[in-house]
Amino acid sequence: MHIKNKTKMKQKISFFATLLLAAIFVHSSCSEDEHSSTGVGSVKLRLSLASISNPVESDTRSALAAPKTEKFYTTNSDGETLTELTIEELPSSSMRSVQNMATGTCVRVYLYKKTGGAGDGDYYTSGILKAGSSSDVVWVENETDYYVKAVSYNSTTADDVPGIVTDNKSTASLPDLSADKDVLYAETEITSGVAGSELDIDLTFSHKFSLVRVVADNAANTTGTITACSATLSNKYKASLALNGGALTAGSSDGVHPFTWTSPNATAVTSNSATVYTGAQTTHVLAFTSIEAGGITYTGTSVTFNKTFEPGKTYRLTVRFKGAIPVIPTGGGTYPSGTTPYVGAFWKASRTGERLIRIPVGTDEGNHGNWSAIVAWADAHWNGLSDIVLDTGGSADPGIDTETPADMNDEDNDLLYQVAGNATGVGGTVASGDTIKFRIGLKFPYAATDAYPARYAVVVVTYGNTPAKTFNLYLRQGEDPDYVWSPTETYGIDGDLRTSAVRFSPYNLTASDLGSNEYSQITVGTNNVFTAYPTQAGAFFQWANTANPGFAYHPVIPLTITSSYWSTSNASGYWNGLISTHETCPQNYPLSTGTPVNFRRPNDGSTNGNNSAGAIADSEMRQSLWEDPQSGQTGSVIGSVWGFYADGFFDRRSHTHAAYGASGGVDNTAVSITTKDAAYIGRLFYNWDKKRSLFFPASGYRYNSNGQLNETGFRGHYWSSSVPASGGRAWSLVVSPYEAYEFSGSSLRNNGFAVRCVRDEP
């Protein structure tokens, strides 16, 4: 008597939102491998036609439930236009239609016999079953337990999956499954009936590959309608599939996934869908081999992005051709009102790790809405804009916003906290009270040269609505002294050459043995060094302390100097007669290139006479730093901006109230305020043409009568080596939230100011 299992479980295939079963062509029968014969003691297996629930492809985006999205930006091959890629992971619950597996869909069934003991799971046989067919069968022994593994390309054609696997089920696998196929996998366990019976197998399939389609959107450009389009996604791999659980392992490389558009003729067109298997690869290139729009053919457009394509999910890659890269705003741009921005970022030449940009937008509605940050410019010493990588993810450093984050000058930390991927732009939305957050990283160290000590780039941040506003982040990689404005560049309406321009160090001067001491006496060539980061205050120095020359005083503690080594006296005369005793800048100091050079204080004109009116003509400080140099004590904001600087130190710590003195101590302007490493907000000078930049922290100063700390987080004061006509004073650079200016009015020589050294050229 034949006994037939009347219960037929509905097969479930959790599939992509873009599979069209109507595209499956039913025309040829599947071949069958026979590894057992029929006869007495045998049972016939059959795969019945089952109901399956498949998502169906649709372009009705409003029907989707809030897709998960990621955004990437890149520049096109012309270096002038921008491409935005949006990746949408479509919800698995979207737009389903109940259908049947197509009659005749070929499924290869692998059977492993449950023998018990050491032989459990040994290969028994394999064969082809066709869904809904009564003719294709596989014979098994009666009243026997089996493990059943099933693989299909979801096709009725003879493109059969691999055949015999002569191995134990725990190690058996199918190699080189094609990524161009829809690979389905299922497994179950059965017990065959009495001899001569028929048994329908109950299976639940899952999709092992992903499905991707591409939307090309040219609506933002005047070229309009796309009339032809083709693209590829790199790279695809063949897969090895384990017959115990269905895990995939990348096999041989199988080239690229092609995408085609059939008669597009629209401003936004959708490609065919392609099954995708990329193995463990996460970096991909979506390359448009050809785009024809508005009668013009474009080539070389591509987007590199970082993404893991997960099995059984559908992805829609929308590429919008955005046109021109954001224009770099003049004057730094428009920074969010009512809040303090970051204005730049810094790396030593050998470092590439993350820098954290965090800009609160406050409650001003004009700051809210969409925002983006895009690498808009890089000088010729980069390989291109793609050398600079952006990301909206947070840092993995557990010490962020504490006093003990990772030291980003340390090589191991620099390599550990990198920005992955290839995005040259990021974006999002920001509401009242929120913060624009992203990270900037570099791909390569810089091989500095004497002629080009650093390389520079600009990230443009766009934010707010009605209208959108933009500002610049000035990036620098390289710690050797460099120009902001060079001797070959001009100033003023007459176009005078900046013949007195010099190369400034990006660091303040300090003493290596300062520690928590009130002071340290400088011995040139031993303990006079630069700070580790540009935002750090360094030490304070009196212009020329007669009784105690060359003393460096702590930037914070104590708030009032109590030592007898703080002197209210000051040396008379000019710097050229005092330099041998009072110069504290390093000598024979090695650059990153290994070249030793001498440093000195910058002048503000003559060093052997008076610069009575604060003239520009011979001033190193004014010609080097100002876009529009000012005479006398007049200030200017042209060519400089006030804000935070992401140097790997300041940006990793919580911003606190600066240390109190007689005045100053501004909130949210300082970090590490109880140590010699105290660092501050400040003013960044930039060259609008070459984009070179230099940061000065607002470290305050020490008052002449008692060394009391003043104006921390509000102003920075920097000595020059020049003096005005009035006695007991010297010219100094002052930076504040409102301006930068050269000052002599209250710059008494026995005040304690910071020193920023310049390279002493031959």
pLDDT digits (tens, 9 = 90+) for 20-48: 222 222 223 344 443 444 444 688 887 76
Which pLDDT value is given to residue 663?
Answer: 74
Looking up tokens 């389903």, which residue turns up? 96
| Residue in 289, 271, 272 with CA at minimum distance from that of residue 217 | 271
Q: Considering the domain boundaries, does residue 697 fall inside one?
A: yes
HSE value, Cβ hemisphere, 13 Å, CA-based, for 159: 15
Cut 0.85: pTM above it: no
More confident residue, 405 or 630: 405
Residue 544 pLDDT exceeds 60: yes
Whether 508 and 501 have beta carbons less than 8 Å apart is answered as no
Residue 317 pLDDT exceeds 70: yes
Same domain, 336 and 295: no
For the segment 666-672, the average pLDDT, to the nearest whole number, is 94
| Residue in 128, 126, 124, 129 with CA at minimum distance from that of residue 141 | 124
Which pLDDT value is given to residue 579?
Answer: 94
Same domain, 192 and 224: no
Which pLDDT value is given to residue 524?
Answer: 82
Which pLDDT value is given to residue 635?
Answer: 85
The span from the CA of 735 to the CA of 699, in Å, is 10
pLDDT digits (tens, 9 = 90+) for 509-526: 999 999 999 999 998 888
Pairing relationship of beta strands 469-477 and 342-347 according to DSSP bridges: parallel
Residue 98 pLDDT exceeds 70: no
Residue 225 pLDDT exceeds 50: yes
Q: Considering the domain boundaries, does residue 15 fall inside one?
A: no
The 3-state secondary structure of 713-760, one letter per residue? CCCEEEECCCECCCCCECCEEEECCCCEEEECCCCECCCEEECCCEEC
Same domain, 648 and 510: yes
Same domain, 704 and 658: yes
Pairing relationship of beta strands 42-46 and 198-200 according to DSSP bridges: parallel
Task: Please name the amino acid found at residue 652.
Answer: R
Q: Considering the domain boundaries, does residue 181 fall inside one?
A: yes
For the segment 611-626, the average pLDDT, to the nearest whole number, is 93
Same domain, 367 and 492: no
Question: Predicted confidence band at 593 (pLDDT cuts at 50, 70, 90)?
Answer: very high
Task: Please name the amino acid found at residue 394.
Answer: G
Looking up tokens 């809405």, which residue turns up? 369
Token pair recorded at residue 113 = 């016999």
Question: Predicted confidence band at 563 (pLDDT cuts at 50, 70, 90)?
Answer: confident
Looking up tokens 């109507």, which residue turns up? 22
For the segment 194-200, the average pLDDT, to the nearest whole number, is 85
Strand, coil or helix: 22: helix
The span from the CA of 721 to the CA of 726, in Å, is 15
pLDDT-wise least confident of 167-181, 394-408, 573-587:
167-181
Residue 602 pLDDT exceeds 80: yes
- The H or E element spanning position 621 is helix 620-625
Same domain, 370 and 270: no
Question: Predicted confidence band at 535 (pLDDT cuts at 50, 70, 90)?
Answer: very high
- The H or E element spanning position 579 is helix 575-582
Q: If you average pLDDT over every residue of the chain, what do you get?
A: 84
More confident residue, 78 or 599: 599
Could you tell me the residue range of the domain that residue 162 belongs to?
Answer: 21-56+98-207
314 burial level (CB within 10 Å; 0-12, 13-18, 19+): buried
Question: Predicted confidence band at 8 (pLDDT cuts at 50, 70, 90)?
Answer: very low
Which pLDDT value is given to residue 88?
Answer: 66
Domain termination site, one of 308, 324, 340? 324
Which pLDDT value is given to residue 366?
Answer: 86
Which pLDDT value is given to residue 267?
Answer: 87
**Rounded to 5°, angle at Cα 554 from 548 and 556:** 140
Residue 407 pLDDT exceeds 80: yes
The CA dihedral of 249, 255, 257, 258, to the nearest 10 degrees, is -160
Q: Considering the domain boundaries, does residue 683 fall inside one?
A: yes
Q: Which residues contact 17 (CB under 8 A, 6 or more apart)?
A: 55, 56, 57, 58, 90, 92, 94, 95, 211, 314
Task: Please name the amino acid found at residue 269.
Answer: V
Same domain, 314 and 440: no
The 3-state secondary structure of 385-416, one letter per residue? HHHEEEECCCCCCCCCCCCCCCCCCCHHHHHH
Tell me which DSSP letter residue 290 carries.
E
- The H or E element spanning position 275 is strand 274-276
The 3-state DSSP composition of the chain as helix, strand, coil percent (nearest 5) reads 5, 40, 55
Which pLDDT value is given to residue 719?
Answer: 97
Residue 76 pLDDT exceeds 70: no
Same domain, 515 and 662: yes
Q: Considering the domain boundaries, does residue 70 fall inside one?
A: yes
Residue 268 pLDDT exceeds 80: yes
- The H or E element spanning position 589 is strand 589-590
Q: Considering the domain boundaries, does residue 255 fall inside one?
A: yes
Token pair recorded at residue 695 = 């940061």
Q: Considering the domain boundaries, does residue 199 fall inside one?
A: yes
The span from the CA of 89 to the CA of 16, in Å, is 10
Same domain, 466 and 338: yes
Q: What is the DSSP string of 226-259?
A: EEEEEEEEE--EEEEEETTT--EEEEEE--EEEE
Q: Which of 89-103, 169-183, 340-354 has the highest mean pLDDT?
A: 340-354
For the segment 546-554, the average pLDDT, to the nearest whole number, is 91
| Residue in 631, 694, 699 with CA at minimum distance from that of residue 669 | 699
Same domain, 597 and 693: yes
Residue 575 pLDDT exceeds 80: yes
Question: Predicted confidence band at 647 (pLDDT cuts at 50, 70, 90)?
Answer: very high
Residue 473 is part of a domain; what is its CATH number?
A: 2.60.40.10
Residue 54 pLDDT exceeds 60: no
Which pLDDT value is given to residue 239?
Answer: 93
Strand, coil or helix: 664: strand
Token pair recorded at residue 655 = 């911003």
Which pLDDT value is given to residue 75?
Answer: 66
Residue 200 is part of a domain; what is its CATH number?
A: 2.60.40
The 3-state secondary structure of 133-196, one letter per residue? CCCCCEEEECCCEEEEEEEECCCCCCCCCCCCCCCCCCCCEEEEECCCCCCEEEEEEEECCCCC
Whether 386 and 425 have beta carbons less than 8 Å apart is answered as no
Strand, coil or helix: 29: coil
Residue 675 pLDDT exceeds 60: yes
Which residues, in sequence order, are bridge partners of residue 129?
Answer: 107
Backbone dihedral angles phi then psi of residue 61, each to the nearest 5 degrees: -65, -30
**% of the chain at pLDDT higher than 90:** 46
Whether 685 and 740 have beta carbons less than 8 Å apart is answered as yes
Strand, coil or helix: 349: coil
For the segment 170-176, the average pLDDT, to the nearest whole number, is 90
Same domain, 691 and 718: yes
Domain termination site, one of 286, 302, 324? 324
Domain termination site, one of 279, 294, 324? 324
Residue 19 pLDDT exceeds 50: no
Token pair recorded at residue 236 = 């695809």
Which pLDDT value is given to residue 574?
Answer: 94
| Total structural domains within the chain | 4
Residue 649 pLDDT exceeds 50: yes
Question: Predicted confidence band at 314 (pLDDT cuts at 50, 70, 90)?
Answer: confident
Task: Please name the amino acid found at residue 325.
Answer: I
- The H or E element spanning position 624 is helix 620-625
For the segment 546-569, the average pLDDT, to the nearest whole number, is 90
Question: Predicted confidence band at 59 (pLDDT cuts at 50, 70, 90)?
Answer: very low
Task: Please name the amino acid found at residue 389.
Answer: V
Q: Considering the domain boundaries, does residue 2 fall inside one?
A: no
Residue 323 pLDDT exceeds 50: yes
State the maximum Cα–Cα separation within the chain, in Å, rounded to a whole number: 122
For the segment 359-371, the average pLDDT, to the nearest whole number, is 88
Which pLDDT value is given to residue 11?
Answer: 32
Which residues, in sequence order, are bridge partners of residue 226?
Answer: 266, 293
Residue 164 pLDDT exceeds 80: no
The span from the CA of 227 to the CA of 269, in Å, is 9
Same domain, 692 and 563: yes
Residue 310 pLDDT exceeds 60: yes
Left if phi > 0, otherwise alpha if psi is -120 to 50, otherwise beta: which for 263? left
pLDDT digits (tens, 9 = 90+) for 341-355: 999 999 999 999 999
End-to-end CA separation in angstroms for the chain: 108
The span from the CA of 281 to the CA of 730, in Å, is 62
Strand, coil or helix: 364: coil
Question: Predicted confidence band at 90 (pLDDT cuts at 50, 70, 90)?
Answer: low
Strand, coil or helix: 366: helix
Which pLDDT value is given to residue 320?
Answer: 81
Which pLDDT value is given to residue 79?
Answer: 62
